[in-house]
Structure 1
């Protein structure tokens, strides 16, 4: 009985072994049949020839989207990032560097375009400043001789004064002796009197008398002991250094008069716009104190000094002020008129994207295709920007929605990017060095 069981177990084991071997042979045969077509297809596609992807499109090459300039002939792991290489199809590569957006999506995004045109551009520079005295229209009245201030006609600083108006009356003792000597010589008779008379007249000049005062003494024959001081110009008394009863010495300043017929405005011009402001440029000034009044003048000088805190230069403006409405200390807005730039390329300012290191616009290629283009910009005024390089007349640029297009361009790995980062700025220096000289996997194009 025991022997029968052993024989039955051996028969079952033999049957199971035979069945397993049959299944193994069947699997090997099926594997060879599947591998043969694949080997044949691989052999028929040598290295460097485009292949066909799972989608049925023609594959030109594989690349890493983070390093789109490096191309590979075979799929595999990227030597730069821990990711698989991405295939680039023929239909996509034909529009390398472009972004395709359907008309419906363009409408949803509100994308608008404008044509690059030729025209004239007059750049306007606006600056603010403050009104100041014209330092070229100043008169300082000094005491010509030692004396006493007996009467003062102006008693407070900033009092208005007219040209020829009496300012003060002084008693000058030195004049009395000089005039008495002259009158005594004139009464003398005899030879050589003319020479003595000329000497006495010269002595009166030396003590500070003017020719008009000397003629008054000659005409009246009387001693003029008091001196009346008159204003040489009209304006305001900006400095008053004397009072009634004071003793003054020869050469001491008594009055300082500033004219108001022509005043200055010291305007702060940004350093970046200083090249557009030149001496002689016509300007218009407006002040909040006189709404609706426009004062016309010109740039007198550009002061050779830059404020290190505000990075501005001082432009000295001369404005006519016949009615005296402008007074020192007022704020004023200055509009400079510069030379017009003629026959230049212009685009709307809103179409230009400035990254800080360069300027880019999105150019419409037609059929829903857009490409970012780097440009060199010039002057800007009235919503228009001058294009010096990068575009041609008649091209169309995106003026609304260009940031969304740029984002799409960056995601699809286009060669032109708005915010390109230099390799030196990358935090991982080892990665930056690898990007410069990457290790090429098998099948990389040279």
Structure 2
């Protein structure tokens, strides 16, 4: 049966499609066979291996010191904070203090005024003026009693009055000293209605709680002074980390505003009780106190924990990709698998490997970054 030209043309077209399809499927199969089963696996040729200068090695053990990060604040120990008040109360008549102002020991902080100061001086001078009469009467009654010219009752009464007056004078003298008046220099010619409030320390003013003309009660704190000679760093350390600390341990502290400026201090006391959030306070002393660190300043701190034996790789063996860290494991002479690792502290060029668990695998210790570039460039192609 003869075939026309159109039939022959159709037959040729179908044959061409079949051949192209077969070739395409064969090419796909070939490519699938050549592609690695793991996208993190890279296979190098002899030339690539030589050019990359790959060096491998196993995990080794080295002493690595870890860093514990904590936070805290600058504080003044209680013995270096002084609250200034007036034991008998009074009106504030004069002061020129400002918060932050430096003060010297013995400096006049304020002048107080009140009529009770006058009354206290009057009582003292009056009591003192009677003491000579009572003493002479006591001595006279004593002589009379010894000669049986006076009864024991009269003698004992004179003695009691004399001794009571001495007690009164002594008590009033102490009250005068309490408000800042020296009874040894007091006379009827120098009675004053004012008293001076004197600074007991060298330091600076941290608080002012009063003003001119205000009445200050005996229990009210007028000023607060701070002696900056002994400022502490108080750290908050959780229960799980307390056993990592010891007395004399070095601390490097820094503020949020100046993280690059480290302040060296050392642990001087570790708290013995825990708060509700399972933490304790650790007292640290600055080696050299910076006056810019005012009490209340929030600080971060790094504590170097004792050296521990750890499995490590050279720092160059660790590469970072998409926020994670990897090391290359040698699968064969020319094959390397990029494996994720969990790392710890880095010290003296070595990085602690926390996971996976230690094994006898060989890791790429030199040339890891070259492998990463080759692997990811190939993936993009």
Change (3 A) 1:287 1:355: closer
| Residue 180 of structure 1: how far off its partner (Å) | 2.5
Matching residue of 2:357: 390
Change (3 A) 1:209 1:284: farther
Q: Give the TM-score of the pair, scaled to structure 1.
A: 0.52
Query: Does the aligned pair in 2 maintain the 1:150–1:245 contact within 8 Å?
Result: yes
Give the alignment partner of residue 286 of structure 2, picking from 276, 299, 319.
319
Q: Does 1:364 align with 2:321?
A: no
Shift of 1:347: 0.8
1:385 deviates by 2.2
Alpha-carbon distance in 2 for matches of 1:330, 1:113: 52
Aligned residues: 311
Q: 1:380 to 1:305 in 2, by over 3 A?
A: farther
> Greater CA radius of gyration, 1 or 2?
1
| 1:175-232 Cα shifts (integer Å, max 9, x gaps) | 3323332332332314222123314543665xx5446957x31564555653221122
Higher helix proportion (structure 1 or 2): 2
1:117 equivalent to 2:60? Answer: yes
Aligned Cα root-mean-square deviation (Å): 5.4
TM-score w.r.t. the length of structure 2 is: 0.59
1:232 corresponds in structure 2 to: 200
d(CA) in 1 for partners of 2:243, 2:364: 28
1:133-159 deviation per Cα after TM superposition (whole angstroms, max 9, x unaligned): 52533211112123233332x332211
Corresponding position: 1:263 with 2:231: yes
Q: 1:235 to 1:103 in 2, by over 3 A?
A: farther
Map residues 84-103 of structure 1 onto 2, 5 A cutoff. 100-103=43-46
Provide closer, same or farther for how the CA distance between residues 209 and 132 of structure 1 changes in structure 2, counting only shifts above 3 A: farther
Structure 1 residue 168: Cα displacement: 1.5
**1:149 corresponds to 2:92:** yes
In 2, the alpha carbon distance for the partners of 1:275 and 1:397 equals 38
The Cα shift of 1:337 comes to: 4.3
Gaps of 5+ in 2: 2-27, 139-157
Q: 2: CA distance between counterparts of 1:337 and 1:221?
A: 63
1:250 aligned counterpart, secondary structure: coil
